[in-house]
Amino acid sequence: DVKVTQSSRYLVKRTGEKVFLECVQDMDHENMFWYRQDPGLGLRLIYFSYDVKMKEKGDIPEGYSVSREKKERFSLILESASTNQTSMYLCASSSRGGSETQYFGPGTRLLVL
């Protein structure tokens, strides 16, 4: 079974703090993705990575950065958290070629005060 894990289920941070969200997958997938999910807006792609040290902007990259130093690990960084970044953050991974199905982690619910 594919397993994608995220470092925290719930996180509370203060405005201006630097926030790290980590994601680890155990299926040797080349592609990894970060989404945020908000009521009424659905899932929106923040960043994705198709290889170690490679990254591409998604639809809403502003205020976020990412890091992928190892194939199995993809980090999302909020450089200076703001209240409008309160959301559910979801990580996913997929293989390159074949079905390319994205498999999701359990999510991190982030509250920025």
What number of residues does the chain have? 113
Alpha-carbon torsion angle 45, 71, 20, 12, nearest 10:
70
Q: Which is nearer to another protein, 49 or 85 (CB)?
A: 49
Q: CB under 8 A: which stretch of 13-21, 34-42, 62-70, 73-81 binds another protein?
A: 34-42
Q: How far is CA 38 from CA 10, 35, 56, 67, 86, in A?
A: 15, 10, 22, 23, 9
Count of residues in contact with another protein, rule CB under 8 A: 26
Q: Which is nearer to another protein, 79 or 104 (CB)?
A: 104
Measuring CA to CA, which residue among 63, 62, 78, 61 is closest to residue 17?
Answer: 78
Among residues 58, 67, 72, 77, which is the contact residue for another protein, using CB under 8 A? 58
Catalog residues that contact another protein under the rule CB under 8 A: 4, 31, 33, 40-43, 45, 48, 50, 56, 58, 90, 92, 94, 96, 99-107, 109
